[in-house]
């Protein structure tokens, strides 16, 4: 089995890249499709593929990930002695054209190299194992499914100074599961334009951004659901009151001291001053009303209240 190159990434501009991505599911999509990506949901992937997702702005994490990719790849070569090369192409699964791959590097001799950067070691196990964050594991499995590679190495620079290499062996059972999930998602949601169910509060606003002003009769089951929510909110309100009482008692005893410590000198609680700078919107609006209106962006959201 060999993957098919459907587009060259050399000199590809952003619009061409977005158009190519819309033709299938890439490795970074699959973790979200399976509900394993902390930064995206299945609904996000669906909206992206049908062209209804808001344009994603570049951020620091994305910028540094791209900028440091070459450095991470070179360090992998330095530490392992293996040779790597760019493929410079978008690859397509030979049997499932809706599954796409854009590899960071190929390892000469039959493997895949993915290059990552991370701020913190959370989710990363010991170097040399396959204990990587789930969405990165699924990404490498997806790439092995498309290319037929027997293994993938994942090199990561954590916190700018902790370099680790992880090894992920081919697992055909997991590969079959990921391929099936990708094909199913594409054919049951993207092709017929049937939205996957929302999973998060953010998903709810994306799926139902506006109300139509009408009311509907609540079923007995829904009245019970609303009642349970109301009771829970009251319980939380009571706990918040208790929390405030405990905080007040501690702060009163602290007075102008910075912290309580235990017998060994370990801090138990701190209450320290911290300077911050905030834009004074109220004063700016009063002093420069026309300029304030010029930079005012109007948005619509929905407020959820239990009556």
CATH code, domain with 132: 3.90.320.10
Of the residues 207, 236, 259, the one at which a domain ends:
207
Shared domain for 257 and 225, answered yes or no, is yes
Instruction: Kindly state whether residue 64 falls inside one of the protein's structural domains.
Output: yes
Instruction: Kindly state whether residue 19 falls inside one of the protein's structural domains.
Output: yes
pLDDT at 107: 96
Instruction: Kindly state whether residue 215 falls inside one of the protein's structural domains.
Output: no
Which letter, b or e, does each residue of 158-190 get, where b requires 16 or more Cβ atoms within 10 Å of its Cβ? beeeebbbbebebeeeebeebbebbbebbeebb
Q: 217 pLDDT exceeds 80?
A: yes
Shared domain for 248 and 277, answered yes or no, is yes
Q: Which residues lie across from 155 on neighbouring strands?
A: 115, 165
Shared domain for 238 and 184, answered yes or no, is no
Q: Which residues lie across from 116 on neighbouring strands?
A: 156
Shared domain for 109 and 233, answered yes or no, is no
Shared domain for 191 and 255, answered yes or no, is no
Residue 302 confidence class, pLDDT cut points 50, 70, 90:
low
Token pair for 282:
């109220």
Q: Are 69 and 104 in contact (CB under 8 A)?
A: yes
Task: Please give the Cα distance from 138 to 36 (Å, whole number).
Answer: 9
Shared domain for 17 and 157, answered yes or no, is yes
Sign of CA dihedral 108, 114, 117, 118: negative
Of the residues 207, 230, 247, the one at which a domain ends:
207
Shared domain for 15 and 141, answered yes or no, is yes
Q: Could you tell me the residue range of the domain that residue 174 belongs to?
A: 4-207
pTM of the model: 0.74
Shared domain for 56 and 139, answered yes or no, is yes
Instruction: Kindly state whether residue 302 falls inside one of the protein's structural domains.
Output: no
pLDDT at 232: 95
Of the residues 157, 176, 207, the one at which a domain ends:
207
pLDDT at 289: 83
Q: Are 2 and 148 in contact (CB under 8 A)?
A: yes
Shared domain for 79 and 29, answered yes or no, is yes
pLDDT at 69: 93
Residue 55 confidence class, pLDDT cut points 50, 70, 90:
confident
- The CA-atom distances, in angstroms, between 229 and each of 177, 203, 299 are 37, 20, 28
Please give the average per-residue pLDDT across 14-31, as a whole number: 84
Residue 1 confidence class, pLDDT cut points 50, 70, 90:
low
Instruction: Kindly state whether residue 165 falls inside one of the protein's structural domains.
Output: yes
Instruction: Kindly state whether residue 135 falls inside one of the protein's structural domains.
Output: yes
What rounded mean pLDDT belongs to the chain? 90
Shared domain for 111 and 247, answered yes or no, is no
Which residue matches tokens 């394993």?
36
Shared domain for 31 and 95, answered yes or no, is yes
Q: How many CB atoms lie within 10 A of CB 212?
A: 6
Shared domain for 163 and 257, answered yes or no, is no
Instruction: Kindly state whether residue 280 falls inside one of the protein's structural domains.
Output: yes
> Going by C-beta distance under 8 Å and a sequence separation of 6 or more, which residues neighbour residue 109?
82, 83
Q: Are 117 and 159 in contact (CB under 8 A)?
A: no
Instruction: Kindly state whether residue 301 falls inside one of the protein's structural domains.
Output: no
Please give the average per-residue pLDDT across 238-244, as a whole number: 95
Query: How many structural domains does the chain have?
Result: 2
Q: 301 pLDDT exceeds 70?
A: no
């Amino acid at each position: 089995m060999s993957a098919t190159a459907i587009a060259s990434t050399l000199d590809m501009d952003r619009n061409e890249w977005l158009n190519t991505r819309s033709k299938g599911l890439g490795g970074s999509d699959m973790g979200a499709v399976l509900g394993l990506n902390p930064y995206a949901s299945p609904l996000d992937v669906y909206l992206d593929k049908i062209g209804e997702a808001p344009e994603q702005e570049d951020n620091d994490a994305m910028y540094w990930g791209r900028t440091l990719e070459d450095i991470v790849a070179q360090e992998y070569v330095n530490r392992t002695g293996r040779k790597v090369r760019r493929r410079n192409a978008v690859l397509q699964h030979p049997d499932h054209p809706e599954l796409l791959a854009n590899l960071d590097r190929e390892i000469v001799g039959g493997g895949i190299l993915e290059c990552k950067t991370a701020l913190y070691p959370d989710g990363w196990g010991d170097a040399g194992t396959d204990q990587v964050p789930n969405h990165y594991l699924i990404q490498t499995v997806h790439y092995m499914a498309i290319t037929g590679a027997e293994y993938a190495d994942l090199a990561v620079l954590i916190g700018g100074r902790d370099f680790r290499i992880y090894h992920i062996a081919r697992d055909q059972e997991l590969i079959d599961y990921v391929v099936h999930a990708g094909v199913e998602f594409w054919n049951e949601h993207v092709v017929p334009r049937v939205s996957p169910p929302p999973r998060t509060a953010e998903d709810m606003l994306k799926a139902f951004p506006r109300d139509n002003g009408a009311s509907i009769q609540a079923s007995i089951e829904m009245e019970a659901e609303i009642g349970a929510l109301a009771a829970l909110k009251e319980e939380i309100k009571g706990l918040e009151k208790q929390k405030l009482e405990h905080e007040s008692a501690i702060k009163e005893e602290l007075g102008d001291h910075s912290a309580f410590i235990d017998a060994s000198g370990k801090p138990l609680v701190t209450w320290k001053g911290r300077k911050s700078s905030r834009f004074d919107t109220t004063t700016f609006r009063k002093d420069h009303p026309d300029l304030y209106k010029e930079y005012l962006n109007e948005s619509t959201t929905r407020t959820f209240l239990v009556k």
